[in-house]
Amino acid sequence: MTTNTHAVDQLVSIRAQIKALQEVESALKTQISREIGDGSSLVGDEWIAEQSLTTRKGGLDEKALIAAGVPVDQYRKPDSAVLTLRTVLRISRLAA
């Protein structure tokens, strides 16, 4: 994106746009799901929405496993790291 706006300011603007779009997306998904009801799809003019339910097994009770003598750390998956980039409004802009 080529602009005279600072990258930090662009990031904040894009995040605001994404948030607004996610709210619209959520409302549309709710509406479509309600219209599908007990069915599995809804046909639009150009697209078809398909809905399916996915389940996953619940987590393990680590404390209970330890109490039962299971060496939990021996079976633990490796740690993962996530880099988070937060933005904060500059105070100097508020004072101006």
The verdict on residue 47 lying in a domain is: yes
Q: What is the pLDDT of residue 56?
A: 86
Q: Which residue's entry shows tokens 């706006």?
A: 5
Give the chain's domain count. 1
Q: What is the pLDDT of residue 4?
A: 87
Q: What is the pLDDT of residue 36?
A: 92
Q: What is the pLDDT of residue 2?
A: 62
The verdict on residue 54 lying in a domain is: yes
The verdict on residue 36 lying in a domain is: yes
The verdict on residue 2 lying in a domain is: no
Question: 42: buried, middle or exposed (CB in 10 Å: 19+, 13-18, 0-12)?
Answer: middle
The verdict on residue 42 lying in a domain is: yes
| Residue 70 domain boundaries | 7-95
**What residues contact residue 1 under an 8 Å CB cut-off, 6+ apart?**
10
Give the separation between CA 20 and CA 17, rounded to whole angstroms: 5
Give the separation between CA 39 and CA 48, rounded to whole angstroms: 13
Q: What is the pLDDT of residue 1?
A: 56
**What residues contact residue 9 under an 8 Å CB cut-off, 6+ apart?**
none
Q: Which residue's entry shows tokens 């605001």?
A: 16
For each of the chain's 96 residues, which pLDDT tens digit applies? Answer: 567 899 999 999 999 999 999 999 999 999 999 999 988 899 998 899 999 888 888 898 999 999 999 999 998 889 999 888 776 777 755 555
The residue count for the chain: 96
The verdict on residue 13 lying in a domain is: yes
